[in-house]
Amino acid sequence: MRELAAQPRWSQADLWDLFDLSPVSDSDIAKYLDITLAKCVSWFRASGGSIFLADGGDRFGLQAKVGAQSKLPEDAAVISGVGIAGIVAASGVARLIDDPTFYADMSEIETKQSISSSMVIPLVDVRRRVIGVLNISRKTGEHPFEERDLDQAVALAAHVTLAVTNAQMVTRLKSTVKETKLANEKLTAVLDSVGGAVIVVDGDGEIVNKNSTAEEDILAPSAGRLGESISHVIWDTLTLHETVKKPFYDSDFDRTWMVEARPLNSGGAVITCQEITDHERQQRELGRVRRLAEIGQMTAAIAHEIRNPLTGIRSAAQMISQHPETMPDFIGAIEEEALKLNDLCDEFLEFARPMQLNLQPVVLSDVIGDVLKVLKPLAEEKGIEIKFEFSPGGEQVQLDIRRVGQIVHNLVRNAFDASQPGQSITVSAEGGTFRVTDQGIGMSEEQVAKLFSAFFTTKSAGTGLGLSVCRKIVDAHGGEIRVQSEVGKGTTFEVCLDRNQK
Ligand code: ADP
Ligand code: MG
pLDDT digits (tens, 9 = 90+) for 260-302: 999 998 889 999 998 898 998 898 888 888 777 767 777 777 7
Neighbours of 239 (CB within 10 A): 10
Candidate from 302, 406, 407, 414 with most ligand 1 atoms within 8 A of CB, to mutate: 414
Cα 438 to ligand 2 centre (Å): 14
The pLDDT assigned to 223 comes to 67
Cα 453 to ligand 1 centre (Å): 11
Ligand at minimal distance from the CA of 436 is 1
3-state secondary structure 368-394: HHHHHHHHHHHHHHCCCEEEEEECCCC
Give the helix ranges, DSSP H, for 7-108. 12-18, 30-43, 83-91
Q: In DSSP terms, which residues pair with 492 in a beta bridge? A: 437, 484
**DSSP state letters, 240-268:** H-S-EEEEEEETTTTEEEEEEEEE-TTSS
Candidate from 340, 411, 467 with most ligand 1 atoms within 8 A of CB, to mutate: 467
Distance, in Å, from the CA atom of 6 to the CA atom of 44, rounded to the nearest integer, reads 9
Cα 294 to ligand 1 centre (Å): 21
Ligand 1 is surrounded, with C-beta below 6 A, by: 410, 414-415, 418, 438, 440-443, 447, 451, 456-459, 462-467, 491
The pLDDT assigned to 108 comes to 45
Distance, in Å, from the CA atom of 411 to the CA atom of 166, rounded to the nearest integer, reads 81
Say if residues 39 and 51 touch (Cβ distance below 8 Å). no
Q: Quick one: which atom of ligand 1 is closest to the CA of 414?
A: 20
The pLDDT assigned to 227 comes to 79
Distance, in Å, from the CA atom of 197 to the CA atom of 211, rounded to the nearest integer, reads 6
Ligand at minimal distance from the CA of 468 is 1
Cα 372 to ligand 2 centre (Å): 16
**DSSP state letters, 267-320:** SSEEEEEEE-HHHHHHHHHHHHHHHHHHHHHHHHHHHHHHHHHHHHHHHHHHHH
Cα 448 to ligand 2 centre (Å): 14
Alpha carbon distances (Å) from 472 to 300, 359, 376, 465, 466? 22, 15, 26, 11, 10
pLDDT digits (tens, 9 = 90+) for 149-191: 999 889 888 888 888 888 888 888 888 888 989 988 888 888 8
Residues in the chain: 502
Q: State if pTM tops 0.75.
A: no
Say if residues 436 and 493 touch (Cβ distance below 8 Å). yes
The pLDDT assigned to 61 comes to 93
Q: Quick one: which atom of ligand 1 is closest to the CA of 462?
A: 3
Nearest CA, atom 18, ligand 1: 414
The pLDDT assigned to 71 comes to 85
The pLDDT assigned to 497 comes to 93
Ligand at minimal distance from the CA of 446 is 1
Tens digit of each residue's pLDDT, the chain (502 residues): 444 444 657 777 787 777 787 777 767 788 888 998 999 999 888 989 999 999 888 999 999 999 988 888 999 999 999 888 899 999 999 999 876 554 444 544 444 556 678 999 999 998 899 999 999 998 877 888 989 899 988 988 888 888 888 888 888 888 888 898 998 888 888 888 877 889 999 999 898 888 888 888 777 776 667 778 888 899 999 999 999 998 888 877 788 889 999 999 888 999 999 889 899 889 888 888 877 776 777 777 778 778 878 888 898 899 899 999 988 888 888 888 888 888 878 877 877 777 889 999 999 999 999 999 989 988 989 999 999 999 888 889 999 999 999 999 999 999 999 999 999 999 999 999 999 999 999 999 999 999 998 888 898 878 788 998 899 899 889 899 999 999 999 999 999 997 655 5
Show the domains of the chain with their CATH numbers.
12-172 (3.30.450.40), 194-275 (3.30.450.20), 290-352 (1.10.287.130), 360-501 (3.30.565.10)
Cα 467 to ligand 2 centre (Å): 6
The pLDDT assigned to 109 comes to 46
Cα 442 to ligand 1 centre (Å): 10
Q: Quick one: which atom of ligand 1 is closest to the CA of 493?
A: 23
